[in-house]
Amino acid sequence: MQQTKSIQNLSELDWVSKKDDRLGESLIRLLRKFNLNAIGKLLAESKTKGICPKGIFTTLFLFPFFGIDNIRCWIHSGLNADAEGKKDVYYSLINSPHIKWRDIVMHFAKGFVKTVDKHSAPTEVLRTKESGTRDETDNTPRCMIVDDTTIDKTGRKIEFIGKVFDHCSHKYLLGFKILTLGFWDSKSFIPLDFSVHQEPGKKKNRGLKARELKQQYTKDRPAGCSSMERIAELSVSKIEHGVSMIARAIKKGFIPQYVLADSWFITDGFIKSVLKLKSKKTGPIHVIGLMKSNRKVQYNGKTHNADVLPKILESKIKASRKLKCKYLAVRIIYKDTPVKAFFVMMNGQSSWKLLITTDDTLSFIKAMKYYQIRWTIEVFFKEAKQNLGLGKCQSNDFDALIATTSLAFMHYIVLSLGKRFESYETMGGMFRAFSDKLLEQTLFQRIWALLEGIYINILAALGVEWEAFIKQVITNPELENLLVDCSRIFYSNNDYPKPKLSIL
């Protein structure tokens, strides 16, 4: 039986230390926080030809930190000189239908929370098992965020591939939809779970010709293997499965106060399903999200289209000087469910946005502030695609797509932990010392505050839609880099007042 000493232990990853001593040591130290020994059983069923699967996993995990895109690049990089395993053992792990990648991602997420709770100040960690909340010093509550993103592909022979509608480009693209559940712990965003979905189309052929479907890659999988669960999810409703992922995460100990979603998910079924997740230990879990304004709602016992209420209740419309907008707060009933609705119109715009919440105690300002947390998942999609290889897998094997997507999620969790404590210093110093309180607000919060100022004071008056503006920022790397530089300059003084409000 082969044994690979150089990759059996994290401290003996020679190729890492040879690349960059300081970076290698920092990565290894950071990975130890996630207790990789605990995932050994989850990797045990993969065929690795006698070589430690944990070592293979660790090597695969470190690829993006050293500019390695895939296994082929690793084999030809020269960095694998000390690794005895050949390329087959890496492909075997990536393509294995047995590995429970969902459990491994959840293990990393729980490792993040455990490390944060251990090294944070007591006043900022106070999370009661009864309520799942943090103390009043926190800026925002704990939230779960559900959203999907399009993973476009070029190969029509990829297993289960088909055409899906992309809401950003408003076109049908060849690829998949990745439904993602994320968790905001009041300071940081981490991904918890995902599922891959296809769209059958009107002809139930995924938008492809019969010849193209026949040429797609297939392979036999044993009954009951982990990937069979993923395959079954391909055709399940994203709204239905989103609720399933939330329920599963709650059982794992991730207890939110709010579930955030955009207008596509805010349906009667989704709202009622989330409200049913409450328990004696966790208390109520509320929904906050945008709703399409053409929905039928009840007000004062009468049924109306939601978009006519601002006209009916014109005398109750108020103005927010801080957000420079008009708003109407009203309690309505949507499909037998009481909700609090906020109609919002930014200065310079002519249409109302409808923000709803099942928490009738929320004020307009808090509802607006909490909903902006939803954009952290959009930032995650952008960063994971741009820097962590999300959706870049070139394999025809569906199991490889699951594996590489899971690795991208884990990469983001590890980097989020690094950002949580490094305060923009080198990675080598991130765990050297912890102050009595968490370090200064994250770069995301700085950029967000800058965006608010630009939009509220300039763009809103010009009639620019907030959704269009923020989408452009997220998808434009040059603009993002400019904002990062500006935010570092503007907030370099710790005494600089930090904006407390947010907008749709």
pLDDT for residue 454 is more than 60: yes
> pLDDT digit string (tens) for 332-380?
999 999 999 999 998 888 889 999 999 999 999 999 999 999 999 998 9
pLDDT for residue 19: 46
Closest CA to 230 of 102, 332, 340, 347: 102
pLDDT for residue 430 is more than 50: no
φ, ψ of residue 148 to 5 degrees: the values are -125, 160
- Average pLDDT estimate for 195-204: 92
Residue 5's alpha-carbon distances to 14, 16, 54, 160, 297, in angstroms, are 10, 14, 12, 38, 65
Say if residues 85 and 2 touch (Cβ distance below 8 Å): yes
- Average pLDDT estimate for 443-464: 65
pLDDT for residue 421: 67
Task: Classify residue 480: in a domain, yes or no.
Answer: yes
pLDDT for residue 445: 55
- Average pLDDT estimate for 421-431: 39
pLDDT for residue 48: 56
pLDDT for residue 137 is more than 60: no
Range of the domain at 466: 443-490
d(CA 373, CA 132): 18
> pLDDT digit string (tens) for 152-170?
999 999 999 999 998 878 8
Closest CA to 494 of 454, 451, 435, 452: 435
Task: Classify residue 448: in a domain, yes or no.
Answer: yes
- Other CB atoms closer than 10 Å to residue 153's CB: what's the count? 19
Task: Classify residue 484: in a domain, yes or no.
Answer: yes
127: pLDDT confidence band, cut at 50, 70 and 90?
A: very low
pLDDT for residue 72: 77
Higher pLDDT, 8 or 452: 452
Q: Which amino acid is at 199?
A: E
Higher pLDDT, 502 or 316: 316
Residues β-bridged to residue 325: 320, 346
Rounded percentage of the chain residues whose pLDDT exceeds 90: 48
Mean pLDDT of the chain: 79
Closest CA to 14 of 47, 48, 69, 58: 58
- Average pLDDT estimate for 179-188: 94
d(CA 161, CA 155): 8
Higher pLDDT, 241 or 497: 241
Task: Classify residue 105: in a domain, yes or no.
Answer: no
446: pLDDT confidence band, cut at 50, 70 and 90?
A: low
pLDDT for residue 486: 60
Q: Which amino acid is at 63?
A: F
What angle is formed at CA 105 by the lines to CA 103 and CA 109, rounded to 5 degrees?
A: 110
φ, ψ of residue 295 to 5 degrees: the values are -70, 150
Higher pLDDT, 202 or 5: 202
Residue 277's alpha-carbon distances to 242, 245, 285, 286, 416, in angstroms, are 13, 12, 7, 10, 28
Beta strands in 311-425 (DSSP E): 318-320, 325-334, 337-346, 353-357
Higher pLDDT, 297 or 414: 297
Q: What is the DSSP string of 485-497?
A: HHHHHHT-STTSP
> pLDDT digit string (tens) for 50-103?
677 777 888 888 787 767 777 777 776 666 555 555 677 888 889 999 999 999
pLDDT for residue 10: 39
pLDDT for residue 37: 75
pLDDT for residue 321 is more than 80: yes
pLDDT for residue 480: 60
pLDDT for residue 425: 35
> pLDDT digit string (tens) for 262-320?
999 999 999 999 999 976 666 889 999 999 989 999 999 999 999 999 999 999 999 99
Say if residues 127 and 117 touch (Cβ distance below 8 Å): yes
Higher pLDDT, 476 or 427: 476
Tokens matching residue 504: 């749709």
Tokens matching residue 420: 């949580």
pLDDT for residue 90: 83
- Global confidence as pTM: 0.79
Of the ranges 32-46, 52-66, 70-84, 172-186, which one carries the lowest mean pLDDT score? 70-84
Look at the chain and report how many structural domains it folds into: 1
pLDDT for residue 123: 41
- Average pLDDT estimate for 96-121: 88
Say if residues 44 and 57 touch (Cβ distance below 8 Å): no
Beta strands in 167-324 (DSSP E): 171-184, 189-197, 258-261, 286-291, 296-299, 302-305, 318-320
> pLDDT digit string (tens) for 200-239?
988 999 999 999 999 999 999 999 899 999 999 999 999 9
